[in-house]
Structure 1
Amino acid sequence: MSGGEGDGGTTLEFTPTWILAGVCTIIVGISLAVERLLHYAGKQLKKNQQKPLYEALQKIKEELMLLGFISLLLTVFQNSITKICVGKNLTHHFLPCKFETEEEESSETEESPIRHLLSEHASSAIGYCTSKHKVPLLSVEAIHHLHIFIFVLAIVHVTFCVLTVLFGGAKIRQWKSWEDAIAKESNDSTSSGQALHPKLTDVHQHDFIRGRFRGIGGHSVILGWLHAFFKQFYASVTKSDYMTLRLGFIMTHCKGNPKFNFHKYMIRALEDDFIEVVGISWYLWVFVVIFLLLNINGWHTYFWIAFIPFILLLAVGTKLEHIITQLAHEVAEKHVAIEGDLVVKPSDDHFWCHRPRIVLYLIHFILFQNAFEIGFFFWIWVQYGFDSCIMGQVRYIVPRLVLGVIVQVLCSYSTLPLYALVTQMGSSFKKAIFEEHVQVGLVGWAQKVKRKTQLKAAAAAASESGSGHGSSSDVKIQLGVLQRQQP
């Protein structure tokens, strides 16, 4: 071990101090710059009163902290992992690349990439396991690559989520002109007195009904689903759709406020949902482990799983479009003509399992799975090269990338705007219907009610135990504590 060099290279004992200090300076500088950038972004979001986006940024920080902790665990237990020895025959199965026979291995030069990699980075662990006639469970280089993969996966997922919400939000903000036009028309009709004489609406000639009901063959269920499937690719939401669903929401949840700004509420609700979408939940990590397990040579796993987010996205888009069709169908079946505007009835019954929230979970999984596909591709490309056996054949790579782009674009410009609008057609509204200061006031009011309820319960207990054996003093103490908690 001359000069402090062992099988694993030079240790810090014999590393020049200027190299150590320089590397630390660069790493700490980059880390502090990223931390300050996130802190500044958070301050700007709070300053602009964008609390949902600020909470989403906090979620991103949590994910980065989790990644750091995972990386720390891998680093701390690196030596222990590499000294876990297993039988050589166990490493010949479930390989992402074809295993070379001993004859093929002996024909290679000693400077082959695999042999050079092992001799330079993990020879000590190999020597330790070789003495036991076994091989290391995981090499140092494999652990290093696993570090990079987890980091790339999280960064790509967060980036894709942000891009999806930005592009989807841009599409939704185009509907603001419809909201402004409705508000202007409402003010004009009120000032002219037209509101006192409601018009008679021919239901079957209404734009919303003609586009969603009569044009698809009346009562044909199959044609209805087919129409919903293709509708998500073009003009997924029309002005008549927006106006009708908006009116249905207002008449159901805030009938006393016909001038309710539905568009502003919808944006706030989408921002609240973004907080959940941007995170990587535990069940998503389970899928990562399963997909890594199934990446076996000859199975072309990553080609087949590329269809999962694509098929799910088409199913979600079709379902959301079909919900609008169902709302039109209900009105068309019940009425021929109505007095006033056409109103639909929101209901959870139109959603899967009567839960609109399921759509959000599916979009969360779709975005993560798509990010996993694209992130895995770039990781393999940078780490092992385009010609790596893990990358697979070109005829399997190109469709994967094409599907990934299609999923990203379709989710941004069609599915997410559809979700933002159609999920408001549930039986209940979201807390975003209230302004932030109102939400804070409601929370404070609820806390006061809870404390008063506790005081009443304690007072009742005190009156009942007045003749008890010394228990009234304990109740009085409890009452005093509760009263001090009152603002």
Structure 2
Amino acid sequence: MAGGGDGESLKYTPTWVLALVCTVIVAISLTAERLLHYTGKGKAPLLSLQALHDLHIFIFVLAVVHVVFSALTILFGSLQIRQWKHWEDAIQKKEGYQEQGQQQQEKVTHIHQHDFIRGRFLGIGKDLALLSWLHSFCKQFYGSVNELDYTTLRRGFINNHYRDNPKFNFYKYMLRALETDFKKVVGISWYLWILVVLFLLLNVHGWHAYFWIAFLPFILLLAVGAKLEHIITQLAREVAQRHVAIPGELVVKPSDHHFWFNKPRLVLILIHIILFQNSFEIAVFFWVLVLYGFDSCIMGEFGYIIPRLIIGVLVQLLCSYSTLPLYAIVAQMGSSFNKAIFEDHIQAKITGWANKAKINRKNVDGGNKKTPSPQPPATESTIDQGREIEIQTISAPSNAQN
């Protein structure tokens, strides 16, 4: 998945820009507060001070619960993914033997006999669309990613994106990419605030809206998990359709067209929405419990409360132990890749190189007063530069990987 540019950090931002942005934020806040005050002034207040205080507490509780739940998801998911490390170590060890000339002779295998194809595509009825989706739906609950899946998808990624680095560690790359992606998931985006407004609007007496809303993240999570499993099945199908027999190891070809609307990033957005909706449910429960008590009319009937909490726990566990590991590996099956493909010290060198180029360009412009053009995005030359730096770093005896 391609990573966009993050721009300059705060320390390089002009002070007048910081002052202007802070002024706008404060002005909007004060305007909203004054508007509420004057709207409710010769009549009953639109929102009392106590109600406004309770609303502030709700927003704070929602933010805290969302951050905590996202952190728990990435923590439990990472513990699950770390079990794959011995698969990577075994592959690295095998490839080390091959570099020393201890290669086994390649054998021609009929495509239908390959374990990856048999397990994902050519079982009884699995080549039918409906049964294929049903198999993918069920697969997310047991062994969502096995060693054969990991090995095959890893080989496809390296062959498509990084074949010039035989020492590339796919496992470490996945962890870096996952960390980069979930830095965005922890935040609350504008579309999530729209969901908050809609949820508050639907909280009408007798509708039991929060009970029905609790099913949305669960259903959406099941759909995302089934889609990620089905992408692996599609990769197996493509290989089976292209080849009758394969010499040596099977290689899949990553592509964006396997994802919804050809956008791998959409899966991350859906996971973001799932975690936020689940956090909203739990945050509302604790907020009402602390401020108004368990018997409050806002809490709802007892028969609707317990299922909401159970569903929230199920979403948290399923997302952590199944969907997140699936996302970690399947998200790399797109046509592009995450900027985390380079390790931190390589990214630092690339960033330093880009900053020097920017400074040199400003110095050349001199006293030119016209607005400078925006910095172009990373190109293949930038990526090649990073690869050259990484290969040189790996080749150096003092910087060799463990």
Shared fold, TM over 0.5: yes
Match for residue 162 of structure 2?
254
**Which of 319, 329, 332 is 2:240 aligned to?**
332
Structure-2 separation of matches of 1:173 and 1:291: 37
- 1:286-435 alignment runs, 5 A limit: 286-435=194-343
Q: Is the 8 A contact 2:125 2:131 kept in 1?
A: yes
Deviations 1:252-305 (A, max 9, x none): 111122331000000000000111000011221121111111111011110111
**Which of 151, 154, 177 is 2:63 aligned to?**
154
Identity over aligned residues, as a percent? Answer: 63
C-alpha deviation, 1:453, in angstroms: 7.1
Distance 1:325 1:145, change over 3 A: same
Distance 1:201 1:454, change over 3 A: farther
**Which of 272, 275, 295 is 2:183 aligned to?**
275
For 2:307, what is the secondary structure of its paired residue? helix
Q: Does 1:440 align with 2:375?
A: no
Q: Does 1:169 align with 2:69?
A: no
Q: Compare 217-226 and 357-366 and name the one that shifted more.
A: 217-226
Name the structure, 1 or 2, with higher relative contact order (CA <8 Å, separation 6+): 2
Q: Compare 139-148 and 378-387 and name the one that shifted more.
A: 139-148
C-alpha deviation, 1:156, in angstroms: 0.3
C-alpha deviation, 1:176, in angstroms: 0.3
- 1:199-238 alignment runs, 5 A limit: 199-238=107-146
Match for residue 46 of structure 2?
137
- 1:173-212 alignment runs, 5 A limit: 173-194=82-103, 197-212=105-120
C-alpha deviation, 1:437, in angstroms: 2.2
Distance 1:206 1:146, change over 3 A: same
Distance 1:391 1:216, change over 3 A: farther
C-alpha deviation, 1:454, in angstroms: 7.9
C-alpha deviation, 1:396, in angstroms: 1.3
TM-score by length of 2: 0.80
Match for residue 473 of structure 1?
none
- 1:84-123 alignment runs, 5 A limit: 84-85=39-40
C-alpha deviation, 1:429, in angstroms: 1.3
For 2:123, what is the secondary structure of its paired residue? helix
Distance 1:82 1:214, change over 3 A: same
Structure-2 separation of matches of 1:166 and 1:455: 46
Structure-1 separation of matches of 2:345 and 2:99: 30
Distance 1:199 1:451, change over 3 A: farther
Structure 1: which amino acid aligns with 2:118? Answer: R
Structure-1 separation of matches of 2:227 and 2:367: 58
Structure-1 separation of matches of 2:133 and 2:86: 30
Q: Is the 8 A contact 1:225 1:318 kept in 2?
A: yes
For 2:100, what is the secondary structure of its paired residue? helix
Structure 2 unpaired stretches of 5+? 1-5, 10-21, 373-402
Distance 1:216 1:156, change over 3 A: farther
Deviations 1:358-412 (A, max 9, x none): 0011111110110000110111111111111111112211211111111100000
For 1:367, what is the secondary structure of its paired residue? helix
Structure-2 separation of matches of 1:327 and 1:319: 12
Structure-2 separation of matches of 1:256 and 1:144: 59
Deviations 1:22-59 (A, max 9, x none): xxxxxxxxxxxxxxxxxxxxxxxxxxxxxx9xx9xxxx
C-alpha deviation, 1:184, in angstroms: 1.3
Structure 2: which amino acid aligns with 1:252? Answer: N
Q: Is the 8 A contact 2:126 2:135 kept in 1?
A: no
C-alpha deviation, 1:77, in angstroms: 4.2
Structure-2 separation of matches of 1:400 and 1:477: 63
C-alpha deviation, 1:332, in angstroms: 1.3
C-alpha deviation, 1:455, in angstroms: 8.4
C-alpha deviation, 1:329, in angstroms: 0.6
Match for residue 378 of structure 2?
none
Q: Does 1:265 align with 2:138?
A: no
Structure-2 separation of matches of 1:438 and 1:428: 19
Query: What is the alpha-carbon root mean square deviation over aligned residues?
Result: 2.8
Deviations 1:317-344 (A, max 9, x none): 0110000000011111222221120000
C-alpha deviation, 1:219, in angstroms: 2.5
Distance 1:478 1:140, change over 3 A: closer
For 1:194, what is the secondary structure of its paired residue? coil
Structure 1 unpaired stretches of 5+? 1-51, 56-65, 86-128, 459-475, 483-487
For 2:246, what is the secondary structure of its paired residue? strand
